Amino acid sequence: MNMRLTRRACAAMLPLLAFPQLGSAQSAYPARSVTLVEGFVPGGGSDIVARLLASRLRDDFGQPVVVENKPGASGTIAAQGVIRAAADGYTMMIASPSTLVVVPKATANPPYDSLRDMTPILQVASVPQVVVVPAKSPFRTLGELITYARANPGKLNYASSGIGAAQHLAAELLSRAAGVKMTHVPYRGSGQAMTDLIAGQVDLNVDTLPSNLPHIKSGAMRALAVTTPERVEWLPDVPTVAESGFPGFERTLWYMIVAPAGLPAPIVERWVSALNKALAHPETRQRLREAGFMLGGGTAGDAAALLNRETEATVKLLREANIRME
């Protein structure tokens, strides 16, 4: 009897003995280099944000933070690799709604479910989208464009970097808010879409501000409206879509740091703290704002709530507009 009690007592103590070791390992995090995966080619929005943050994270962590580009399939290749990685904080990802929301919800056989397979960490930045037309376009305001679109269903065409891309969804949302029908012209990437817009081959785009700001400033494009709730500092004279006759309209493209599902809470909080400090750094803030990004921040709970809201809204839009990806 005494021997059985001793064995039971020892067995009960094992988990207690393990917890200090686990806590010690997590408090020492990170003990080696960290990889921040990016699902698109260098130079894009998420890549710019990732590299600016990585330099600050290195200082905070005391370890290298390596940005690794794994482009392909709207970020799907990168996301699948991250999901399969150990949930230990050494493989993280920066991703946008196209990867986290559209791919899982617009494909017939989703490769993953972000709400199930990923741990949201922090929304680190966002960018306004802007309704742009060629410099030679007859439309001087969004109201003029919508009036024409209502009188000529399907005649206006808009560009995007592909089916389900941010430009596609923003233009569809605008079409539904205005009660008009426009024709979607998907390209294989944003570069050719932008070139053809400037040349007048397509009528409009609802693209990200950082990508289009140089062309707006040069006079190659005309900005009709921004998709944020309020006007933006980079284009103070350009009204919002809401001001232009569509109250409540809002659309921004955001970037979020995520990890494999099951990342321990202490490591989540370590990342949240480090990222918020990085975003608060004066040089980081200045460089992001100069590039046309709005600063993020907050908590992991905020990030999770955003991902849930965006998923719900996107599922509704995909269904109503009958948008499916191959």
The residue behind tokens 């998907």 is: 186
**Per-residue model confidence (pLDDT) at position 75:** 87
Tokens of 135: 């410099």
Element (H, E) at 69: strand 65-69
Question: What pLDDT shows up at residue 190?
Answer: 79
CATH architecture, range 128-226: 3-Layer(aba) Sandwich (3.40)
Considering the domain delimited by 32-126+252-321, tell me its CATH architecture: 3-Layer(aba) Sandwich (3.40)
Output the pLDDT for position 40: 84
* Beta bridge mates, 91: 35
Looking up tokens 């709530």 gives: 305
For 115, half-sphere exposure in the C-beta direction (CA atoms, 13 angstrom radius) is 13
Which among 117, 125, 173, 122 is positioned nearest to 305, based on CA atoms?
122
pLDDT per residue of the chain (326 residues) written in tens, 0 to 9? 444 444 444 444 444 444 344 444 456 899 999 999 999 888 888 899 999 999 999 999 999 999 999 988 888 999 999 999 999 999 999 999 999 999 999 998 899 999 999 999 999 999 999 999 999 999 999 999 999 999 999 999 999 988 888 999 999 999 999 999 999 999 887 788 999 999 999 999 999 998 899 999 999 999 999 999 999 999 999 999 999 999 999 999 999 999 999 999 999 999 999 999 999 999 999 999 988 899 999 999 999 999 999 999 999 999 999 998 86
Indicate the helix (H) or strand (E) that contains 294: strand 294-295
Tokens of 46: 């998420």
Q: Say if residues 52 and 287 touch (Cβ distance below 8 Å).
A: yes
Burial of 161 (0-12, 13-18, 19+ CB in 10 A): buried
Query: In angstroms, rounded to a whole number, what is the distance separating the alpha carbons of residues 91 and 85?
Result: 7
CATH 3.40.190.10 placement within the chain = 128-226
Q: Where exactly does CATH 3.40.190.150 map onto the chain?
A: 32-126+252-321
pLDDT value, residue 15: 42
How many Å apart are CA 278 and CA 284, to the nearest integer? 7
- CB distance 225 to 150 below 8 Å: no
